[in-house]
Amino acid sequence: MKKFVAAFLFVIALCGVATADIIYSTTDGKIGLISIQGTASIDLEGVQYETDFEKPVMGMYWDDETLRFIVIGQNGEESNDVAIRFNYSDLTKAVDQKPITLQGVNNTLGIIGISNGRGVYIVYGPSIREFETDDFEPKDRFYTYTTSDEEVNPNIKGTVVINNRIFVLVNDTLMRFDGQLDRNVQGFAEWGVESGAEVLCDLSDSRLAIGHSTGVQVLDNELKKLLDNISQVDAMCPDQSSGFYYVLQDESGDKTLCNFKRNT
């Protein structure tokens, strides 16, 4: 195991059979690109675009058959977050002449794209809402988590899309929605997970991993313990086989990068 130091605010990897592009952002809003053509060819393309956002949130989504990249941040004193869109093929030039205002959205936590290209979902605070992909007008489909416990922070901690199903983690509760974001439909499901659950990770075979304060659970046909009696799982991502990488954070704040390999 190696000590892990985060170099960038957020990273997105789009992996094909032999190539991958890593898009990164810096805390002062610069968007950069690393192009990987194979194990022997890694090109640091460098900064592609500069925004005026602090700690921007990034994501990918489909607009019909076009893959787009989006950067969301706060703009000055505006109460609504704003978005800058790019075609994934060219990160040096924005699609729009000026940033798009996201009505009703403040302090974006994440962006969810689904493969059918019919909508894009923005996560902010305890809420998730669907927006049009062409002009980012808000749709009627949304969900807000509420609780009667005033001491509980209801912010959504993680979201993952598997087979166009949206998994949402909030306050040790895992929920599964379809695109309607409605609890009162057949496709909705809910599970109680271990305390301190912070991150989600989609794995091979449509499995979902949940990192919590002492280990990792996995949701297949049912919720099971996978790793136990370890420290807080702070981050997770799939590896190139059927396992995953995970970052542990101990009480002193030190972080360690680990890799779980699945035997079968």
**In this predicted model, what pLDDT tens digit does every residue of 181-225 receive, in sequence order?**
999 999 899 999 999 998 999 988 889 999 999 999 999 889 999
Task: Judge whether residue 66 has pLDDT over 50.
Answer: yes
pTM for the structure as a whole: 0.83
- Separation between Cα atoms, residue 159 and residue 200, nearest integer Å: 7
Average pLDDT along the chain: 84
Task: Write down the pLDDT at residue 1.
Answer: 42
**C-alpha distances in Å from residue 155, one per residue of 95, 123, 190:** 31, 9, 17
**Coil, strand or helix: which one is 204?**
helix
Q: What is the mean pLDDT of residues 158-182?
A: 92
- Separation between Cα atoms, residue 137 and residue 57, nearest integer Å: 19
- Separation between Cα atoms, residue 210 and residue 244, nearest integer Å: 11
- Separation between Cα atoms, residue 195 and residue 210, nearest integer Å: 11
Q: What is the pLDDT of residues 81-95, one digit of tens each?
A: 999 999 988 999 999
Count the neighbouring beta carbons within 10 Å of the beta carbon of residue 105.
23
Task: Judge whether residue 245 has pLDDT over 60.
Answer: yes
Task: Judge whether residue 242 has pLDDT over 60.
Answer: yes
- Separation between Cα atoms, residue 69 and residue 88, nearest integer Å: 5
